[in-house]
Amino acid sequence: MMSDSFPTSASTPPPFGIVDPPAGQIRNSDSADVMSRIPGLPKVAEAVSNIDTAQVAAKVDKFKKWTIGTFKNSKQQLLEQMGKIEKTQDPEFEAQCEQLKDIHRRYGQIVVASKNFSNILAQMAEAEKQLSESFYQLSLKEEALKAQCTTTSETMRGVGEQASSLDTCLRFFISSMETVYNQTITDTLHTIYSTESARIEYDVDRNEISSAQESPNSKTLPAGATEKCQEKREKYENLKKDVRIKMRLLEENRISVVASQLEKLQTALAAYYSGNAKLLEKSVRDLNSIQIPQPSFIPNSNNFM
């Protein structure tokens, strides 16, 4: 009777070409062993020694402070909306800021509507020029209708050129309104948003100090908390002054520039719809001579912060 024979583990070849380590060497799957066997890759000890622990600790501490500050600010805003905590208010200043935000939204609507009108006008001008060309081509074949086709072609060509001129005026007007909307007003809005953030940070510290003073069981405030709160209050007040200056200068410049732009656009529209080609061309030249408002009227806003 033959007995079944099975190959021993020693005679079984390693699967998929894996070769056992030489005798006396123990296979180690640790990352340190892997790093040491890969050419060009530093060892763990060498990699760790190159880390600037002071820099890492500073970044971790900065991230920790940012996280705590963000949580406190979010909590402050939530409690304010729920009416469970007092917030610093300046009704007149806040009303002026909201008014500017509303004006900014309305300028955005003007930009969008003007672009839609310009696109339609450009398409119409192109269609009129194509129709003019079609009448001209027909006049070459229809001798009996040559005079009428030629007159119609010239009329349509003139109408198309006037539409192109109006579109030029409109595009210049759009460029100016985009500057007012995207840069001039936005510059002041950025300062307003910074002021709102500064107000929240000030109220966080102010309410923490107030709670500690009113409740004897509260935890002790860290050293310098009062001075830090005062610094944030001064930053908030300085930003408010900055906003007031910017809003005053913004209104003066905005009204002057936009009024001039609107007068020129009205002249161009009247010339186009009345068929006055010469007046329309003059409007194009006048629009090109108008200065577009600058993005900001404050040389350096940091001077007010």
Q: Give the separation between CA 32 and CA 293, rounded to whole angstroms.
A: 63
Average pLDDT score over residue span 211-240: 79
Residue 39 falls inside a structural domain: no
Backbone φ, ψ for residue 82 (5° rounding): -85, -10
Dig out the tokens for 227 from the structure.
């001075």
Residue 54 falls inside a structural domain: no
State residue 9's pLDDT score: 46
CATH code where residue 298 lies:
1.20.1270.60
Q: Give the separation between CA 265 and CA 273, rounded to whole angstroms.
A: 12
Q: Per residue in 152-193, pLDDT tens?
A: 999 889 888 888 888 988 998 999 899 999 998 999 999 999
Residue 123 falls inside a structural domain: yes
Q: What angle do CA 283, 289, 290 make, to 5 degrees?
A: 95
Q: Give the separation between CA 166 and CA 143, rounded to whole angstroms.
A: 35
Average pLDDT score over residue span 89-107: 93
Number of folded domains that form the chain: 1
Between 74-88, 138-152, 157-171, 283-297, the lowest mean confidence (pLDDT) is in 283-297
Q: Give the separation between CA 159 and CA 35, rounded to whole angstroms.
A: 77
Residue 168 falls inside a structural domain: yes
Average pLDDT score over residue span 105-126: 93
Residue 84 falls inside a structural domain: no
Between 253 and 55, whose confidence is greater? 253
Enumerate the H helices of the chain as residue ranges.
31-37, 44-49, 53-82, 91-139, 146-179, 185-214, 225-274, 277-288
Instruction: For residue 91, give the H/E element and its range.
Output: helix 91-139
Residue 71 falls inside a structural domain: no
Residue 32 falls inside a structural domain: no
Average pLDDT score over residue span 125-144: 90
Average pLDDT score over residue span 102-107: 95
Closest to 274 measured CA to CA, from 129, 156, 159: 159
Dig out the tokens for 97 from the structure.
């800021």
Instruction: For residue 151, give the H/E element and its range.
Output: helix 146-179
Mean pLDDT (the chain) is 77
State residue 103's pLDDT score: 95
Range of the domain at 172: 103-209+224-304
DSSP 27: -
Q: Name the range with the highest mean pLDDT among 70-84, 94-108, 272-286.
A: 94-108
Q: Are 225 and 209 in contact (CB under 8 A)?
A: yes
pLDDT band at 295; cut points 50, 70, 90:
very low
Residue 70 falls inside a structural domain: no
